Copies of this chain bind each other. A is one copy, B any other.
Amino acid sequence: MAAELSPEKLSEIHRPTLDQALDAIRTRAYWSPHPEHPKAYGEGGLPGSLGAAEGKAAFDAVLGTRLDLGQPGTDGWTGGEVSPYGPELGVEYPHADPDVLLPAMGAAMGSWRAAGPETRALVCLEIIARISARTHELAHAVMHTSGQAFVMAFQAGGPHAQDRGLEAVAYAYEEQTRTPRSADWSKPQGKRDPLRLHKSYTAAGRGISLLIGCNTFPTWNGYPGLFASLATGNPVLVKPHPRAVLPLALTVQLAREVLTEAGFDPNLVALAAERPGEGIAKTLAIRPEIKIIDYTGSTAFGDWLETNARQAQVYTEKAGVNTIVLDSTDNYRGMLSNLAFSLSLYSGQMCTTPQNLLIPRDGITTDAGAKSYEDVVADIAEAVNGLLGDDARANGLLGALVNPDVKARLEGAAALGDVALTSRPVVNPDFPDAVVRTPAIVKLDGTKPDDGAAYLSECFGPVSFAVAVDSTADALDLLRRTIREKGAMTVGAYTTSPEVERAVEDVCFDESAQLSLNLTGGVYVNQTAAFSDFHGSGGNPAANAALCDGAFVSNRFRVVEVRRQA
């Protein structure tokens, strides 16, 4: 049977997009093929895509059903997701016997390798296109597993996640094709005939890749590893977070569909859902068949993987402590509103949300005059209150707390210091069971060792610390120490001084942290754009890889050379 999706057809549809993506990662100018606006999907919008109502209907239709992926080794069914907004999803997923599933996945590798980097990339692009067409459906799945508000689930879980997946494919393609498929080599030997060899170079995947998904950004944090591994020739086993299975299960379903249509073995992508408390990530991670692991989650388990899954290349994104240094600004209002948004978005449940605001005890200079430490803290608190004063708007920005641990941490924050901004519950009229909370700000002293225990730990969720420091120089020392010891996904700074700017840059260069300077408009420190911004640096304890760069893809395959006498 001829494949419905031939390489020629795939090339016709997707090669221009691949070329644009390759260009974008080189120029790092703005680019995305995935529209951000919900109205861009459905009739009259992106061809073949589900509109708002269709997407919602598709999501509703999957609730309470059994999602049969047709995987080998299915030995039962498991499920039990409960939306942070309240409803039980009721979806059942296949539970896999790894002794059957893993060999089936391994058997799929040979023809996938033989397909070559371009066909692999184009198949990946078709998978991403199918995902894109169902962005509305997936947005609901992300919303009801992560607790993100709908618009954020739509954008971050849809086009932005798809962008990151596509970016990984572009890096993978470029990395594999920097070595030609073959070369004729002729070495002069003086008067004798030259030595001649014909050489071929084959990008060979390393083995099965395990994606360990997270609760808060199942698609955004999952797609880079999934597509980087698949595009470099590796089957991918997707082990979602037990509370965020649906978005990745739907992704696996689409991937298996496309692989089949393109004439490949669907077992190149499979799901490993787990029974409650089963903890299969630990078992799978040390299987000899698993050669690559992508993980986003706690530092404890990330460290465990790095220590124990020694047979695999392990890419981890773990906890970190993100800092904002406040030195001076020429746009005080812009700074306050920018920070208020950054602290509020998704209730601070982003790995990129600022946690520690380092503010000189004697205050900062601004275009609105000198502001004391107390002024700055009060003004940030007021800006947050202003931003979230309207409940509808608050719900749209905050989403729901993803799990009871976050709520418990928030409730414990008041005990850590003086509360400058008190968290308040917000009622979500559509989902009365959702736990919605505005952020808290707690005042701490950067010179008190007791306070250090708080601000030098990640307090994941809607809690930030206004840390009083003796000077900007002390802030930079604390920044350096924080990145080095605890890691950071993001660093922000506000300053009008070129010297301070250079000093902050030097700390970030030395400690390998991504820096945003003087953001006062509609770009926030916690957001990065694929093709242009790196997410994490891979050089500090918060993550051992960046999304996305050469290092993220180059060790997912090896080049095997065959030399023949010519």
A279 on the interface (CB 8 Å rule)?
A: no
Shortest Cβ-Cβ A-B pairs, 6 listed? A539-B558, A551-B554, A28-B183, A550-B554, A551-B555, A512-B558
In the bound complex, how far is the Cα of B563 from the Cα of A533, in angstroms? 9
What are 19 inter-chain pairs, A to B, with CB distance below 8 A? A29-B185, A110-B506, A183-B532, A195-B521, A195-B522, A195-B523, A202-B509, A204-B510, A515-B560, A516-B562, A518-B564, A521-B565, A523-B563, A538-B555, A539-B558, A546-B559, A551-B551, A551-B554, A554-B554
In the bound complex, how far is the Cα of B508 from the Cα of A306, in angstroms? 27
In the bound complex, how far is the Cα of B521 from the Cα of A25, in angstroms? 44
Contact indicator A30/B180 (Cβ below 8 Å): no
Take A179-B28, A529-B187 as given contacts and tell me if A549 and B539 are in contact as well, using a CB distance cutoff of 8 Å. Answer: no
Contact indicator B532/A558 (Cβ below 8 Å): no
Take A110-B506, A522-B189 as given contacts and tell me if A26 and B537 are in contact as well, using a CB distance cutoff of 8 Å. Answer: no
Residue of B nearest to A188 (CB): B30
In the bound complex, how far is the Cα of B204 from the Cα of A178, in angstroms? 23
Q: Which of A511-547 contact B (CB under 8 A)?
A: 512-523, 529, 532-534, 537-539, 546
In the bound complex, how far is the Cα of B307 from the Cα of A513, in angstroms? 26
Please tell me which one of the listed residues B197, B558, B562 contacts residue A505 in the complex, with CB atoms under 8 A apart.
B562
Contact indicator B30/A186 (Cβ below 8 Å): yes
Contact indicator A508/B562 (Cβ below 8 Å): yes
A318 on the interface (CB 8 Å rule)?
A: no
| A residues apposed to B, CB below 8 Å | 25-30, 109-110, 113, 174-175, 178-180, 183-189, 195, 197, 199, 201-202, 204, 206, 306-307, 310, 505-506, 508-510, 512-523, 529, 532-534, 537-539, 546, 549-551, 554-555, 558-565
Residues of chain B lying within 8 A (CB to CB) of residue A509: 110, 113, 202, 204, 560
Residues of chain B lying within 8 A (CB to CB) of residue A30: 185-188
Contact indicator B537/A558 (Cβ below 8 Å): yes
Residues of chain B lying within 8 A (CB to CB) of residue A519: 563, 565
Taking the closest CB of chain B, its distance from the CB of A286, in whole angstroms, is: 15
Please tell me which one of the listed residues B174, B514, B520, B539 contacts residue A206 in the complex, with CB atoms under 8 A apart.
B539
Residues of chain B lying within 8 A (CB to CB) of residue A187: 30, 529
For A199, A522, A563, the residue with the greatest tally of chain B CB atoms inside 10 Å of its CB is A563
Take A206-B512, A555-B551 as given contacts and tell me if A26 and B180 are in contact as well, using a CB distance cutoff of 8 Å. Answer: yes
Please tell me which one of the listed residues B113, B186, B310 contacts residue A306 in the complex, with CB atoms under 8 A apart.
B310
Residues of chain B lying within 8 A (CB to CB) of residue A201: 28, 534
In the bound complex, how far is the Cα of B552 from the Cα of A554, in angstroms? 9
Residues of chain B lying within 8 A (CB to CB) of residue A565: 517-521, 523
Taking the closest CB of chain B, its distance from the CB of A504, in whole angstroms, is: 9
Contact indicator A534/B520 (Cβ below 8 Å): no
Taking the closest CB of chain B, its distance from the CB of A118, in whole angstroms, is: 17
Residues of chain B lying within 8 A (CB to CB) of residue A508: 560, 562
In the bound complex, how far is the Cα of B204 from the Cα of A416, in angstroms? 36
In the bound complex, how far is the Cα of B307 from the Cα of A559, in angstroms? 25
Taking the closest CB of chain B, its distance from the CB of A216, in whole angstroms, is: 23
Residue of B nearest to A197 (CB): B523
Taking the closest CB of chain B, its distance from the CB of A114, in whole angstroms, is: 9
Contact indicator A563/B517 (Cβ below 8 Å): yes
Taking the closest CB of chain B, its distance from the CB of A31, in whole angstroms, is: 9
Contact indicator B538/A561 (Cβ below 8 Å): no
Taking the closest CB of chain B, its distance from the CB of A484, in whole angstroms, is: 9
In the bound complex, how far is the Cα of B197 from the Cα of A514, in angstroms? 14
Residues of chain B lying within 8 A (CB to CB) of residue A560: 508-509, 512-515, 537, 539
In the bound complex, how far is the Cα of B564 from the Cα of A520, in angstroms? 10
Residues of chain B lying within 8 A (CB to CB) of residue A505: 562
For A113, A184, A306, A510, the residue with the greatest tally of chain B CB atoms inside 10 Å of its CB is A510
In the bound complex, how far is the Cα of B525 from the Cα of A563, in angstroms? 9
Residue of B nearest to A539 (CB): B558
Residues of chain B lying within 8 A (CB to CB) of residue A513: 560
Residue of B nearest to A194 (CB): B30
Residue of B nearest to A201 (CB): B28
10 more contacts with CB within 8 A, not counting A109-B510, A512-B560, are A27-B183, A29-B184, A29-B186, A178-B550, A204-B510, A509-B560, A515-B562, A517-B563, A539-B560, A551-B555
In the bound complex, how far is the Cα of B110 from the Cα of A517, in angstroms? 21
In the bound complex, how far is the Cα of B522 from the Cα of A517, in angstroms? 60
In the bound complex, how far is the Cα of B216 from the Cα of A351, in angstroms? 48
Taking the closest CB of chain B, its distance from the CB of A555, in whole angstroms, is: 4
Please tell me which one of the listed residues B180, B554, B558 contacts residue A27 in the complex, with CB atoms under 8 A apart.
B180
Residues of chain B lying within 8 A (CB to CB) of residue A523: 195, 197, 563, 565
Residues of chain B lying within 8 A (CB to CB) of residue A549: 179, 554, 559
Residues of chain B lying within 8 A (CB to CB) of residue A197: 523
In the bound complex, how far is the Cα of B109 from the Cα of A69, in angstroms? 53
Contact indicator A559/B537 (Cβ below 8 Å): yes
Residues of chain B lying within 8 A (CB to CB) of residue A310: 306-307
In the bound complex, how far is the Cα of B311 from the Cα of A307, in angstroms? 12
Residues of chain B lying within 8 A (CB to CB) of residue A307: 310
